[in-house]
Structure 1
Amino acid sequence: MRTAPGTAGAAAEPGSAPDAGRWPGLAEVPDVPARALVAKRIFLAAVRGLRVRVHLPGGRVVGGGGFGDPVMRIVRPDEFYRRIGADGLIGFGEAWMTGAWDADDPTGVLTVFARRLDRLVPKPLQRLRRWAVAVRPVDEENTPSGARGNISRHYDLSNDLFALFLDETMTYSSALFEPGDELADAQRRKIDAVLDAAAVGAGTRVLEIGTGWGELALRAAGRGAEVVTITLSEEQRTLARRRFEEAGVADRVDVRLCDYREVSGTYDAVVSVEMIEAVGERYWPAYFAAIDRALAPGGRACVQSITMADDRMRAARDTWTWMHKYVFPGGLIPSTEAIDDALAEHTRLRVVQRRDFGPHYAETLRLWREGFLARAEEVERLGFDATFRRMWEFYLAYCEAGFRAGYLGVSQLTLARRVR
């Protein structure tokens, strides 16, 4: 098992101080009294207009919400304000990780904040944003070598960890639900929609960019297709290969440890599910150009992508967030406008069909989060400490809130060559 910070050794109690050896920098509370005071004033002013009830020590309650609204508990106010004063939203997430704030329904709390994210900080102070937010580290640049490291930090944590909260298909992307669906049913429906969009059938030569743990390639092979699927994760390749062998389709699926920039050959269909978010804005042209080069005349591609509004994407493009620091280094969620621009400027491809289903991702994440929390003892036995478990809960709740608030969306984009 590959380990990330905080994954080795005995587990800590939830909310206890992080182990300084495993979580360098997190165990020490920033000493920024002036910035903490400003953060306190901004935070308390912001929550007074929100439908969330903030409980402070001593019984004080702040917030415009009623008794049915989500409750946020500030457990250690001094630490909480110092962390957000020093590091903004990164500090807000870190304060959850250390237990400086807590909530029975973190998704509910975060959804309220996500709906008002653009208005939480007063407009005069928003002009100072460029000096207040962190800049992305150079070592997270998605060069061929950097991309391997970024992918490994997340996907090579442990296959066993992901198996605890994903469904039997081991699919780590938004499902597509119909009434009465179990999660596995909805995941297979999503995959079938991607394969249908790319016209995958018997004899189709398929390139998949981003293997995951192999379910899409399995279903494509089940249709009689010949599949080349690529990944940068050694852990994913190992499990995917085993699944292909056990399903009896190893002769029709070739799984390679390969960067999308290294792909050769031509294919009737190219599919890529929630891979583009890890590519980085600088490399979107190369990503789409690789799809264009690989696609045979008359072929179709389907790309599933998480999306955000174009103005929000442009505001976030150069910042370093809690998500980058702890979960997905090097990534950026595109807007559909940015995808259209990259296609128009660097390829012969255009979007010919689009399916949006953001609320389905919120439901997918809810089920993942519930599954993760229900298996907390097993997560601990894998060697992931309490700080990691709080981090992972926050990650899943944070993402779910983004989709529930409409801040994030997800789209399946069918691509075909422009007709001259």
Structure 2
Amino acid sequence: MTFTRPEHLSSIDADSWPNVATVPAPRWPGMKARRAEAEFAKACDDAGLELDLDAEGGPDLKVGHDALFERIATSGWLGFAESFMAGEWTVTSSSQLVKVLGRLLGVGYLPKAKAKALSPSDSEPGELPLDLVRLYSGDGLSHVGGIFTSGVPTTIRETVESYSPRAGRKEPKSHFVDVTTLSEPTSVDRDDLGDAQRRAADWLLDVTRTGAGTHLLVYPAAGMQPAMRATKRRATVDVLTSDVDQISQMREALVLEGADDSIHVERIPGVVPNPKQWHDHYDAIVTVEKVEQLSPHERKEYIRAVDRFLTPNGRAGIQSIVATEAMTEAGKSSIQALRAYVWPGLDYPLTTELHQLVDKNSNLRIVSETHVGTHYLESLRQQRSFFDGHLREAAAAGFDPVFRRLWTFQFALREALMTLGMIDAVQFGLTHRNRGGRR
């Protein structure tokens, strides 16, 4: 495979963005690019997306460079995303980008390309920079979704199959799980996001029964808001992070929030702490959007670590983005860009797969699920809007045009996937199985 660097890419930093700053030149490029162009045109037509510049109201997307089709021919959805990052195709707004991505996913657009393998690689230790998070977060600390006040919860107790090796012998074949769903949020405005993110943190703390005297572990530091909220309940809080670059920013944030005396932040090398690195025990453990970012073997190590850290009567609360039965091959392929540029190990598991993970690799059991997808969707819309409004600040903070387009793309893609019902946001409650079924 060879690469070229056309004039329109000359302003892109090739050291930072090597695959965006160049265009692949595969064998038989003309034929493959023409096929990719024809497939893309048909997908747009099937999706009702207008490419004609003379259309009333303007096109849904404008293709400015044929390099788009060379990229798609080489790496499918990843190439499609990299072409957007390069500015080779554009939309009028980020909401229009959500529409375009959603329509293409809705018709199952799956470019026929020899794309990079979809199996997730090991994740890389690190947190999203707080300088970036502040550009779109409602509370200035959290990059995750919230729960709005207008959602009405409904809980049903369901029987769930046990995947424990002892199931049917020394343990029951099934167990009960309290499954809660929330009605869609209504009358939401921009000022509600911060409160919603704090509420989501409070719900996780409720799952773990965190209160006065509770010894709480928050890992990774994406869950800084639960740590902050736990101090309001007079809990003792430890936060573990693997990102040495973020330690100073986190501690500075704690000082600004007046929580530096109540929260202990410690760096642990690697993705999952091993027994030699950290061996404390906790009454409660909170994890926010980490499991889906881990490779398969890292997930096993992670859930074993939670089991090891948790006291016999302790509880864990895990918030995760999961795939649903509506997830398609096109949807799975579309996250290649997120895996390539943001979260290397990203792979959305099914809820059933998380039950299997917990049952087979620990002495823990999932006893509650709270599905908050519609609220997470609204949070994504608000975060995308906040980021749109802070593009100048993003540039001033050192985030170049390619990164800004990447971040807009990841918001729009996740929003499209969630709008289509392919992914959901769930808060899981876990306890030890040896508690005799007590809740």
TM bucket (normalised to shorter chain) is 0.7 to 0.9
Q: Superposed, which structure 2 residues align to 1:314-353 within 5 Å?
A: 321-353=336-368
Change (3 A) 1:266 1:68: farther
Whether the 8 Å contact between 2:272 and 2:298 is mirrored in structure 1 is no
CA displacement 1:143-181 (0-9 Å, x = unmatched): xxxx32xx26xx2xx432322222234111111112456
Which of 81, 91, 114 is the matching residue for 1:103? 91
The answer to whether 1:91 aligns with 2:87 is: no
The aligned counterpart of 2:252 is: 242
Helix, strand or coil for the counterpart of 2:211? coil
The answer to whether 1:174 aligns with 2:145 is: yes
Q: Superposed, which structure 2 residues align to 1:176-325 within 5 Å?
A: 176-179=147-150, 180=188, 182-212=192-222, 214-258=224-268, 259-262=271-274, 263-309=278-324, 312=327, 321-325=336-340
The aligned counterpart of 1:35 is: 32
Q: Distance in 1 between matches of 2:331 and 2:101?
A: 18
Change (3 A) 1:114 1:357: farther
Change (3 A) 1:218 1:390: same
- Cα distance, 1:233 vs. partner? 2.1
Helix, strand or coil for the counterpart of 1:114? helix
Amino acid at match of 1:385: D
The answer to whether 1:24 aligns with 2:18 is: yes
Q: Superposed, which structure 2 residues align to 1:354-369 within 5 Å?
A: 354-369=369-384
- Cα distance, 1:245 vs. partner? 3.4
Q: Distance in 2 between matches of 1:321 and 1:28?
A: 18
The answer to whether 1:44 aligns with 2:41 is: yes
Whether the 8 Å contact between 2:47 and 2:103 is mirrored in structure 1 is yes
- Cα distance, 1:94 vs. partner? 1.1
The answer to whether 1:80 aligns with 2:68 is: yes
Q: Distance in 1 between matches of 2:195 and 2:18?
A: 41
- The total of aligned residue pairs comes to 378
CA displacement 1:45-80 (0-9 Å, x = unmatched): 222221322336xx4x6xxxxx7998122222x212
Whether the 8 Å contact between 2:324 and 2:421 is mirrored in structure 1 is no
Amino acid at match of 1:237: I
- Cα distance, 1:354 vs. partner? 0.6
The aligned counterpart of 1:8 is: none
Which of 130, 136, 147 is the matching residue for 1:165? 136
The aligned counterpart of 1:11 is: none
CA RMSD of aligned residues (A): 2.9
- Cα distance, 1:312 vs. partner? 4.9
The answer to whether 1:141 aligns with 2:122 is: yes
Q: Distance in 2 between matches of 1:227 and 1:207?
A: 6
Higher mean C-alpha deviation, range 234-243 or range 32-41? 234-243
CA displacement 1:238-292 (0-9 Å, x = unmatched): 2322333344443332111125323312111111011112222221111111111
Change (3 A) 1:283 1:46: same
Q: Distance in 1 between matches of 2:223 and 2:296?
A: 25
Amino acid at match of 1:80: L
The aligned counterpart of 1:10 is: none
- Cα distance, 1:199 vs. partner? 0.3
Change (3 A) 1:244 1:27: closer
TM-score, normalising length: structure 1: 0.82
Amino acid at match of 1:388: F
The aligned counterpart of 1:7 is: none
Change (3 A) 1:136 1:121: closer
Whether the 8 Å contact between 1:174 and 1:187 is mirrored in structure 2 is yes
Change (3 A) 1:214 1:390: same
Instruction: Select the structure that is richer in helix.
Output: 1
Amino acid at match of 1:207: L
Change (3 A) 1:73 1:120: same
- Cα distance, 1:363 vs. partner? 1.6
The aligned counterpart of 2:405 is: 390
The aligned counterpart of 1:112 is: 103
- Cα distance, 1:391 vs. partner? 1.7
Higher mean C-alpha deviation, range 223-232 or range 252-261? 252-261
Q: Distance in 2 between matches of 1:29 and 1:54?
A: 22
- Cα distance, 1:385 vs. partner? 1.9
Q: Distance in 2 between matches of 1:232 and 1:273?
A: 15
Gaps of at least 5 residues in structure 1 are 1-13, 62-66
